[in-house]
Amino acid sequence: MLDQPVVTTADAMEAVELFAEKRWTDGLPIIPPTEERVRAFLDVAGRDPAEVILRVSENRREVTVGLAAINAVMAGCLPAYFPVVLAALEGWADERWGDGDRTYFYISNASTGGGGQLLIVNGPVRHELGINSGVNLYGPGNRANATIGRAMRLIIINALGIAPGILDHASQGHPGKYSFCIAENEEESPWEPLHVERGFSADTSTVTTFSARGPEPVENRVSGKPEGILYSIADTMSRLGAMMGMSGTTTVVMGPEHAGIIGRHGWTKQDVKLFLYENFKRPLTDFARAGMVIPPGSPRTFTIDGVDYLRGCRGPEDILLVVAGGNNAGVSSVITQWSHHIPLGQYIVTPIAPGKTASPE
């Protein structure tokens, strides 16, 4: 099948057990990728299965459209989800990623830091495919979110050979390494959505892809002012353990309730980013107590009223701000990224090519 080894069995459960035995899974049962199922995905994409989407030079592995389709079937995707998976992979192949001879894709997946591949989906495809942007968006219960994100992980394991304990050396990892796919709640945001901010039209569907650690919740259910909410978020961004290992780029997934309060006070998205940037800091004495000495005058250090600080990022552009989640509590979240190889403000946002069928069924 598609120039890959063919395993023949009449029993689906036997196939599931075989894939587990061969370590071709993420530890969960898979959908057997029959030729008929894979062909349905390729028909939706309308692309040559031998086309190479992503190459990783470090281990001389590559992802073809055909391999991506096989793993998307295994993940439980519907065929209509496949263009999102392909766009996410194309984002990773963007030439702006990397550090000399090393690809950022490999660094982030093989690192002890344990990033998972976070996808943020924007545009009409969110509704066409039913991708969750609201209540429990990081959690279970939505097929599109769960299986699109899982397809990325299976591709990383099977096509690229970056498997736990082999090339994936995450010290702890996090549950998002199983699946990490969300959509922006554009309808409840007071600001332009992420893809519009990055120059796309509102009716274009896109996916933003990067390596991210797990979301850290920020609760502030009492403040009715932007400053109170944003100080809470900046404090979470500035926690010592994150700043000691962070690389300069942070995502703030702001709940609609928080965003609504801030927006009603007339704050723009740029106002929010600037406030967070200015308060994303930690005294150098805190780092010293943790055993990390940062001399004054080092990059991103500055002094206020005789106190030396380290700034958490390079500029407001290093803060990726999206609105997502349910409008039922004062909850937001902060996601640190394994992203020091991204140029300032250069997030990779990839348009999603329309599939050959309009319905997710």
Say how many C-beta atoms besides its own lie within 10 A of residue 295's C-beta: 8
The tally of domains found in the chain comes to 2
**CB neighbour burial string for 183-204, b if at least 16 within 10 angstroms, e if fewer:** bbbbebbbbebbbbbbebeeeb
Whether residue 349 lies inside any domain: the answer is no
Q: Is residue 73 part of a domain?
A: yes
Cβ proximity of 324 and 185 under 8 Å: yes
Are 89 and 209 in a shared domain? yes
pLDDT of residue 218: 97
Terminal Cα-to-Cα distance of the chain (whole angstroms): 24
Q: What is the pLDDT of residue 1?
A: 37
Query: Do 42 and 183 reside in the same domain of the chain?
Result: yes
65-75 helix and 35-45 helix, angle to the nearest 10 degrees: 120
Boundaries of domain holding 122:
9-213
β-strand pairing of 281-283 with 116-122? unpaired
Indicate the pTM of the whole model: 0.92
What integer pLDDT is reported at residue 347 of this predicted model? 79
* 127, 133 Cβ separation under 8 angstroms: no
Question: 203 and 219: one domain?
Answer: no
Give me the residue label for tokens 């640190």. Answer: 336
- Within this chain, do residues 206 and 292 fall inside the same structural domain, yes or no? no
Question: Do 237 and 209 belong together in one domain?
Answer: no
Position 339 scores a pLDDT of: 56
Q: Residues 75, 140: one domain?
A: yes
In a domain, 164, yes or no: yes
d(CA 200, CA 205): 9
Domain end position, chosen among 192, 213, 234:
213
Tell me the sheet residues that pair with 337.
212
Same-domain status, 271 and 307? yes
H/E element, 211: strand 206-212
**Residues 179, 289: one domain?**
no
Q: Is residue 287 part of a domain?
A: yes
Asked if residues 271 and 314 have their Cβ atoms less than 8 Å apart, the reply is no
Instruction: Dig out the tokens for 310 from the structure.
Output: 């380290």
**According to the model, what pLDDT value does residue 341 have?**
59
Would residue 101 count as lying in a domain? yes
Q: Which of 193, 213, 233 is the last residue of a domain?
A: 213
Phi, psi (rounded to 5 degrees) for 63: -115, 120
Same domain, 207 and 221: no
Burial class (CB in 10 A: 0-12, 13-18, 19+), 65: buried
How far apart are the C-alpha atoms of 308 and 299, rounded to whole Å?
12
Tell me the β-bridge partners of 302. Answer: 309
Q: Are residues 142 and 225 in the same domain?
A: no
Examine residue 293 and state whether it is found in any structural domain, yes or no: yes
219 and 134 in a common domain: no
**Domain's final residue, options 194, 213, 232:** 213
Considering the domain architecture, whether residues 58 and 135 belong to the same structural domain is answered as yes
Q: What is the pLDDT along the chain (361 residues), one digit of tens a residue?
A: 344 556 667 688 888 999 999 899 999 999 999 999 999 999 999 999 999 998 887 778 899 999 999 999 999 999 999 999 999 999 887 666 555 555 666 667 777 777 889 999 999 999 999 999 999 999 999 999 999 999 999 999 999 888 887 877 778 888 989 999 999 999 999 999 999 999 999 999 999 998 888 999 999 999 999 999 999 999 999 998 887 755 567 999 999 999 999 999 999 999 999 999 999 999 999 999 999 888 888 888 999 999 999 998 889 999 999 999 999 889 999 998 865 556 666 678 999 998 765 444 4
Query: What local confidence, expressed as pLDDT, does residue 137 receive?
Result: 95
Question: Rounded to an integer, what distance in angstroms lies between the CA atom of residue 212 and that of residue 97?
Answer: 15
